[in-house]
Amino acid sequence: MYVCICQGVTDREIREAAGRGARSVRDLKRELGVATGCGSCACFAREVLESARGESADAGFAGAFPAGAYLKPEG
């Protein structure tokens, strides 16, 4: 879905930028041009970026331990 209509930036592009290291709306402005037109997308762009960063962190953590590694054995 489009996040920044002025520059035609999608949520997918923001997630990809997060994967490349974008950590702030300022990074998105520099890399994608987000919020450089009318600016009304800045808050939503930040939400998408934070969500993408959270998903990346969760994915890395979840893969670090085998499923059920912390379950107490029955019996």
- The predicted-structure confidence for 36-70, as pLDDT tens digits, reads as follows 999 999 999 999 999 999 975 555 444 444 444 44
Residue whose C-alpha is closest to residue 3's, from 12, 55, 71: 12
Q: Which residues contact residue 28 at a Cβ distance below 8 angstroms, ignoring those fewer than 6 apart?
A: 9, 14, 17, 22, 34, 35, 45, 49
Average pLDDT for the chain: 83
Read off the pLDDT band of 5 (50, 70, 90): very high
Sketch the domain layout of the chain as residue ranges.
2-61
Half-sphere exposure of 63 (CA within 13 A, CB side): 6
* Beta-carbon count within 10 A of 10 CB: 14
- Residue 44's Cβ-count burial label (10 Å; 0-12, 13-18, 19+) is middle
- The hierarchical CATH code for the domain 2-61 is 1.10.10.1100
